[in-house]
Every structure is written in structure tokens, then in C-alpha cells.
């Protein structure tokens, strides 16, 4: 894999590129190479084993752990690149799928002030594309999962393979693009995984009923949400704070910024102690 092309395609910031190549200078050292192999073995064992190994690795090499995590996930992505090619999955899908590395680096920079991959969060998430369980097709990501529900109207039984829909942050929720993603998923997962009938689940704050109640009919969020039939609703103010007011202290609701219609609606509901949270929905 051409690392420069990879960084260009996933739009990794120059700081992240410099971090990678500064560390990559050590790749020819046998001790460092053995450390990388040990990290990969720990990754294959479990998230906890990997976290422990990375902490020790960073200390031994005198590296900031967020930078080492970034380096290793790019190295692991290079291994995944070969797997994608063997499966005849396009490079476009590969680069789109691993754009999550850039997203996580942005979140880490906003939250921790470091452009890298944090030690204690996102580990299970970043594992998914490396294990061939998550693919980004246009605006949306789709994760291969087993259904927890018996849904005869969708031809689905508990344990059947289905798709969990994820919505990458930092981009508008354009519903025409979302529909293109669902269409692409039907073709992709039939061709690559033999799934004849794609059933899409989504577990997200975007599906909670309050958004259908309070947002205008032409709201992108509401249009996206109403395509799903709800199966389960969970109340959680924290869920809303994390996504609508990220990196802010939500202790004093009245001090939160009401700079968008969505934020104003969320603040009003919290002040009135009306329910907020997330929901699980299903669609075809």
C-alpha cells in the first residue's frame, strides 16, 4: 500500500502524516519490528490485551500513546488493503472505509488536544473494518451483524446475518446520498457476502421519537429517522449531550448554545424534563 496515497485519500492532516513517518523511520530496526508484531498478536487476542501491550510499547519506545496507536492502525490497514484486494473489493471502498482513522484523529484532537488515536475509546470500533465487518459505501457505513430479533415481515430470524447502519460524523445528513448508500449496500453485500435480502438496523440518537415530534417535516434528521420502524427506545440525556453538544459541559443546560434549531429543541426538552435518548429501528 502506498502510504502517501492512503493519507491523501483519507484526508489525514499533515500532523498525522508527520507522526506516522517519524515513527516509521524505526521500522527497519529489528527490536521495533518485533514490538509491532507483538502488538498485532495482542490485537488479535483482545482489545484489553492490545491496550496493555500498546501502553508498554509506547513507554519502551518513548512515544506518545496516541501517536503510536495512529501508526499501528495505519500499519494494520496496510494488511487489510491486501485482504480487500484478494476479495476484489475496490480501492474506493477501502479508502472510504478507513476514513474513520481520520475521523477518530479529529475527535481526539477536539477532546484531548492531540491529533492521534486515543487509548481508551474507539478501539472496538476501529477493529471492525480491520476484521472485515464494516464497510463504508458512500455516505453510510454498514456493519455485518447477527439479528437479535425475529422479524418475519422482513424474512429475518434471530441469528440471521443483517446490517447495522452507522452515520459518520462531520458531514451533512443528505438523504438522497443515504438512499444511494442503501442501494449500493444491497448490491455489495449480495455480491461479496451472498446476502439476498438486506435488512438494515440502526441504533442511534437520530432515531429517538422526540426528533420526529419536534423537528420540522423537511428536517434531514427527521426524514432519515422516519424511514425506520422503531423496535426499542432508550431514554438517555447523556446520549444527546454527547452528540448534539460534543465536548461541552452539560451540567447547566441553560448555558448550552442554542445556535441551531436542533440544539434549541434539545435544550427546551431538557429544561422541560421531557424524554430524550436513542432508539433501534429497522428498514429495508
pLDDT in tens, 197-227: 999 999 999 999 999 999 999 999 999 999 9
Instruction: Check residue 259 and give its pLDDT.
Output: 85
First to last CA, the chain: 35
Instruction: Check residue 170 and give its pLDDT.
Output: 87
Contact 150, 125 (CB under 8 A): no
pLDDT in tens, 112-122: 899 999 987 77
pLDDT in tens, 108-164: 998 889 999 998 777 889 999 999 999 999 999 999 999 999 999 999 999 999 999
Instruction: Check residue 240 and give its pLDDT.
Output: 80
pTM for this entry: 0.93
Q: Give the CATH number of domain 133-284.
A: 3.40.630.120
Least confident of 58-67, 95-104, 232-241: 232-241
Which cell numbers in the block locate residue 136? 463504508
26-44 average pLDDT score: 94
Rounded CA-CA distance 98/102 in Å is 8
Name residues whose C-beta falls within 8 Å of residue 168's C-beta, 6 or more positions apart in sequence. 99, 100, 103, 136, 139, 140, 141
Read off the pLDDT band of 239 (50, 70, 90).
confident
pLDDT in tens, 1-12: 999 999 999 999
Q: What is the DSSP string of 245-271?
A: STTS--SSGGGS---SHHHHHHHHHHH
Mean pLDDT, the chain, integer: 94
pLDDT higher than threshold 90 for residue 248: no
- The CATH 3.40.630.120 domain(s) of the chain lie at 133-284
Name residues whose C-beta falls within 8 Å of residue 172's C-beta, 6 or more positions apart in sequence. 220
Helix axes 100-112, 123-130, angle to 10 degrees: 170
241-252 average pLDDT score: 79
Amino acid at each position: 500500500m502506498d502510504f502517501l496515497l492512503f493519507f491523501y485519500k483519507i484526508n489525514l492532516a499533515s500532523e498525522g502524516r508527520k507522526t506516522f513517518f517519524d515513527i516509521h523511520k524505526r521500522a527497519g530496526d529489528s527490536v521495533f519490528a518485533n514490538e509491532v508484531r507483538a502488538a498485532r498478536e495482542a490485537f488479535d487476542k483482545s482489545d484489553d490485551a492490545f491496550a496493555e501491550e500498546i501502553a508498554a510499547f509506547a513507554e519502551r519506545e518513548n512515544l506518545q500513546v496516541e501517536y503510536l496507536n495512529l501508526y499501528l492502525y495505519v500499519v494494520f490497514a496496510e494488511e487489510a488493503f491486501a485482504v480487500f484486494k484478494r476479495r476484489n473489493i475496490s480501492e474506493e471502498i477501502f479508502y472510504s472505509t478507513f476514513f474513520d482513522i481520520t475521523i477518530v484523529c479529529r475527535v481526539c484532537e477536539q477532546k484531548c488536544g492531540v491529533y492521534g488515536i486515543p487509548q481508551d475509546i474507539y478501539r472496538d470500533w476501529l477493529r471492525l473494518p480491520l476484521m472485515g465487518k464494516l464497510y463504508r459505501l458512500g455516505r453510510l457505513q454498514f456493519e455485518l451483524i447477527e439479528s437479535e430479533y425475529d422479524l418475519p415481515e422482513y424474512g429475518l430470524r434471530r441469528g440471521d446475518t443483517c446490517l447495522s447502519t452507522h452515520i459518520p460524523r462531520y458531514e451533512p445528513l443528505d438523504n438522497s446520498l443515504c438512499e444511494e448508500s442503501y442501494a449500493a449496500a444491497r448490491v455489495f453485500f449480495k455480491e461479496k457476502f451472498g446476502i439476498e435480502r438486506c435488512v438494515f438496523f440502526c441504533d442511534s440518537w437520530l432515531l429517538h421519537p422526540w426528533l420526529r415530534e419536534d423537528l420540522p417535516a423537511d428536517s434531514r434528521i427527521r426524514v432519515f429517522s422516519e424511514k425506520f420502524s422503531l423496535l426499542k427506545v432508550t431514554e438517555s440525556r447523556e446520549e444527546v449531550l454527547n452528540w448534539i453538544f460534543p465536548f461541552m459541559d452539560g451540567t447547566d443546560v441553560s448555558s448550552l448554545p442554542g445556535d441551531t434549531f436542533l440544539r434549541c429543541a434539545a435544550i427546551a426538552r431538557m429544561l422541560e424534563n421531557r424524554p430524550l435518548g436513542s432508539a433501534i429501528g429497522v428498514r429495508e
